[in-house]
Amino acid sequence: MQISLISPYGSLYNAGLRSISAVLKNAGYDTQMIFLPTPSIESGWNVSPFCQVSYSESLLERLRVMTKGSAVVGITLMDNYMQAGAELTKALKRDDNFVILGGVFPTLNPQKALDYADAACVGDGEYAMLELVRQLEAGSTPIAIKNIYFRGQSYPELEYIHDISSLPLPDYGPDGHFVYIEHADEIMAIRSFDDYKPSMAFWADSASKEPAYLYRMETARGCPDNCSYCANNILKKVQAPKVRFKNIEVIEKEILWVKEHFPFVTELSVEDDSFIIRKDIRETASLFKKYGLTFKCFFAPVYFTEELLTHLIGCGMMATQVGLQGRSANTEEIYRRTSVNKNIDEVLRFFSERYPGFPLIIDLIVDNPWEKVEDTLFTINYLLDNMPPKAMIGISSLVFYNGTALCNKAVKENILDTSTDYQLKTWHWHRQNKIHYTTLLLVMLKLRLPRGLIRVLASKPVVYLLERKLIIEKLIPGAVRTVKKIYKKIKGTGISKY
Ligand code: B12
Ligand code: SF4
């Protein structure tokens, strides 16, 4: 029996869908995986405020033909791909097939997913999908499968995979794997592991002539913290209450597999929410070093120790991303990050004093309706005083994910505009309908404009003059979009050459 697994994401990584495919293949089923990256949607060139993917009729027709023999079509979705998932489901649903949506969006919004699909997977999908396929193969109408919410039925019983080390390695094909090439508007077969190269390429620095290659991997699922805006709020309740770790033997097995199949890879990107919480973090980092692989990872400031970070850098950590989101006491409280942000002073001091050239990325959230101008100014001044010289800033616009503490607060206070597809909102600051003057100040920091100049522009009189409705709702967004449009005209469409 054939199963088609489809991903609309810009990145081909997709640990979840690849893991499902591996489990199905191990059980003897024939899976095909179709990746539909449309990088131009996510690129800085795209001036549309939402991450709305509109597939061409010819692409949808090609997909219909490709999935003709599939009894099950599974689509993975984060919230910002909701509309893409709906479009794909409408195009691929037939009377004689079963379409199931899985991933963070259906996990948080199963009812919405059921508006389109036959079923929604809540939480872990590997064994849920296997059982679904077995029941369908047996010719019965599938019923009572843990984690699967069938349309017209009640919310399912939930179960999570306790030992994620027992799962097979992710399925990278290449047989039966296909990728959409946006500039050619064609779906091509992945013929060899080398075909993954374009999706793994990155430029280590602006001076590099040749790209380096990066392999993304998961060593754990989940996060011990519980920030009020984060999907983990819900995942803890409906997926798994605790962080699940892969053991070091399995990590080594995956590295060996990578070495054999992707010999060009020199760097790992550990996609765990907070890599450094592993008890065996030192051994894991040493393992990467043993195999000559540099790495990057995420961490929350509370887990920082000077000794640990020094060890990780010694093992080849080339970049790291730390969440700050906001530094004022009010903002930290709104985000429930008062304890998570603990040690941020030490983190910034460590990099400023010992590794001033290190590419540290500091993540911040803007567009928080409860944050006052003074709060943002506090964060800006904090960064002006403490940010290491070569640090970078990642700016995201606050998105209210269904069921999170912050989403519930927004609904209760009636400030969530549900008339817009707020889930589709993605991170590009220039896509926002409202751009605060204080956000522009952060962008200046991101662009590393002289800090003295930013200090002047961040002085209270200037901010109170420019942080005005007309300016932030009309002038700044209008000007930003015009500049982007002109730039796009000069530089081309922004469609990736992948
Ligand atoms: C790795 C990762 C990425 C990677 C890779 C994404 C990719 N293509 O796979 C990168 C860095 C590219 C990325 C980017 C973004 N990400 Co991200 N990312 C993650 C992270 C840290 C881990 C995801 C993962 O691999 N988990 C491990 C796998 C095994 O689990 P899984 O994906 O959930 O899959 C399981 C189930 O969901 C289910 N399942 C999944 N798909 C399907 C399909 C079917 C048919 C079935 C039956 C079941 C099923 O079964 C799987 C196996 O058990 C999560 C955090 C988290 N806690 O989930 C955030 C997370 C998914 N990302 C998030 C966001 C917001 C983004 C961005 C929009 C961020 C931004 N500001 O731009 C972008 C956009 C993504 C894009 N355009 O592709 C949010 C999503 C919130 C939401 N409600 O949608 C999360 C949850 C972070 C958070 N804590 O809020 N991300
Ligand atoms: S530390 Fe990061 S991943 Fe963990 S709950 Fe907070 S925002 Fe989510």
User: Containing H/E element for 409?
Assistant: helix 405-412
Q: Is the CB of 105 under 6 A from ligand 1?
A: yes
Cβ(3) – ligand 1 distance below 6 Å? no
CA dihedral 360, 366, 370, 374 (to 10 degrees): 70
Render pLDDT for 442-468 as a digit per residue (tens, 0 to 9). 999 999 999 999 999 999 999 999 999
- pLDDT beyond 80 at 113: yes
DSSP string, 58-96: HHHHHHHHHTTTEEEEEEE--GGGHHHHHHHHHHH--TT
pLDDT of residue 205: 75
Q: Which of 257, 261, 289, 265 is nearest to 201 (CA)?
A: 265
Q: Which of 394, 389, 402, 396 is closest to 426 using CA atoms?
A: 396
Q: What is the pLDDT of residues 127-162, one digit of tens each?
A: 999 999 999 999 989 999 999 999 999 999 999 999
pLDDT of residue 2: 95
- 316 ligand 1 Cβ < 6 A: no
Q: Does the Cβ of 225 fall within 6 Å of ligand 2?
A: yes
Q: Is 16 close to ligand 1, i.e. is its CB under 6 Å away?
A: yes
Name the pLDDT band for 482 (thresholds 50, 70, 90): confident
Asked if residue 122 lies in contact with residue 156, where contact means CB atoms within 8 angstroms, the answer is: yes
Q: Pairing state of beta strands 212-217 and 201-202? A: antiparallel
Chain centroid offset of residue 185 CA: 24
Q: What is the mean pLDDT of residues 202-230?
A: 91
Task: Please tell me if the CB atom of residue 396 comes closer than 6 angstroms to any atom of ligand 1.
Answer: yes
Yes or no: say if 161 and 246 are a contact pair by the CB < 8 Å rule: no
Q: What pLDDT is stored for residue 496 in this prediction?
A: 62
Q: How confident is the model at residue 477 (pLDDT cuts 50, 70, 90)?
A: confident
Give CA–CA dist 350/364, Å, rounded. 19
Mutate to test the pocket of ligand 1, among 77, 271, 427 (most ligand atoms within 8 A of CB): 271
Confirm if 397 and 367 have CB atoms less than 8 A apart: yes
d(CA 51, CA 488): 17
Ligand nearest to C-alpha 398 = 1
Report DSSP letters for 237-272, one per residue: HHT-SS-EE--HHHHHHHHHHHHHH-TT--EEEE--
Share of the chain above pLDDT 70, in %: 94
Query: Which ligand does the CA of 427 lie closest to?
Result: 1
Contacts of 450 (CB under 8 A, 6+ apart): none
167 lines ligand 2 (CB under 6 A): no
Cis previous bond, 369, omega within 30: no
Strand ranges, E, within 8-61: 30-35
Please state which of the ranges 15-29, 205-219, 260-274 shows the lowest mean pLDDT. 205-219
39 sits in the region (left: phi over 0; alpha: psi -120 to 50; else beta) called: alpha
Q: Which of 36, 38, 73, 76 to mutate to test the pocket of ligand 1 (most atoms within 8 A of CB)?
A: 76
pLDDT (tens digit, 9 = 90+) per residue, 289-314? 999 999 999 999 999 999 999 999 99
Predicted confidence at residue 47, as pLDDT, reads 63
**Is the CB of residue 85 less than 8 Å from the CB of residue 468?**
no
Ligand nearest to the CA of 240: 1
Q: What is the DSSP letter of 168?
A: P
> Is the distance from the beta carbon of residue 230 to the nearest atom of ligand 2 less than 6 Å?
yes
User: What is the chain's mean pLDDT, rounded?
Assistant: 92
Q: Indicate whether residue 19 lines ligand 2 (CB < 6 A).
A: no
**Which ligand is in closest contact with the Cα of 231?**
1
| CA-proximal residue: ligand 2, atom 6 (nearest) | 227
* Per-residue pLDDT band at 494 (split at 50, 70, 90): low
> Among candidates 55, 60, 57, which has minimal Cα distance to 40?
55
Instruction: Using most ligand atoms within 8 A of CB, pick from 104, 108, 226, 227 the residue to mutate for ligand 2.
Output: 227
Give yes or no for a contact between 202 and 212, defined as CB atoms under 8 angstroms apart. Answer: yes
Domains of the chain, start order:
2-166 (3.40.50.280), 193-491 (3.80.30.20)
Query: Is residue 300 within 6 Å of ligand 2 at its C-beta?
Result: yes
Contact present, 395 and 383 (Cβ < 8 Å): no
* Tens-place pLDDT, residues 385-438: 999 999 999 998 888 999 999 999 998 998 887 666 666 665 555 566 788 999
CB of 463 closer than 6 angstroms to any ligand 1 atom: no
- pLDDT band for position 487 (cuts 50, 70, 90): confident
Integer Cα distance of 6 and 17 in angstroms: 8
Cβ of 218 closer than 6 Å to ligand 1, yes or no, is yes
Q: Which residue owns the Cα nearest ligand 1 atom 9?
A: 14
Q: Over the stretch 60-84, which tens digit does the pLDDT of each residue have? A: 999 999 999 999 999 999 998 888 9
Nearest CA to ligand 1 atom 70: 427
Q: Are strands 201-202 and 119-121 parallel, antiparallel or unpaired?
A: unpaired
For ligand 1, say whether the CB of 361 is within 6 Å of any of its atoms: no
pLDDT of residue 493: 62
Contact 236, 401 (CB under 8 A): no
The answer, yes or no, to whether any atom of ligand 1 lies below 6 A from the CB of 74, is yes
Q: Could you tell me the pLDDT band of residue 270, with boundaries at 50, 70 and 90?
A: very high
Nearest ligand, CA 325: 2
Evaluate if residue 288 carries a pLDDT over 90.
yes
- Ligand 1 atom closest to the Cα of residue 161 is 53
Indicate if ligand 1 lies below 6 Å from the C-beta of 126.
Answer: yes
Measuring CA to CA, how many Å separate 179 from each of 34, 65, 362, 449?
6, 15, 32, 39
- Going by alpha carbons, the residue nearest to atom 3 of ligand 1 is 271
Q: How far is the CA of 296 from the centre of ligand 1 (A)?
A: 18
325-357 pLDDT, tens digit per residue, is 999 999 999 999 999 999 999 999 999 999 999
Q: Is the CB of 170 under 6 A from ligand 1?
A: no
Three-state DSSP class for 369? coil
pLDDT of 49 over the 70 cut:
no
Give, to the nearest 10 degrees, the angle between helix 306-314 and helix 344-354.
50
Residue 376 pLDDT: 97
In the reported structure, the alpha carbon of residue 259 is separated from the centroid of ligand 2 by a whole-number distance in angstroms of: 31
Distance 223 CA to ligand 2 centre (A): 6
First to last CA, the chain: 32
Determine which residue's CA is closest to atom 2 belonging to ligand 2: 273
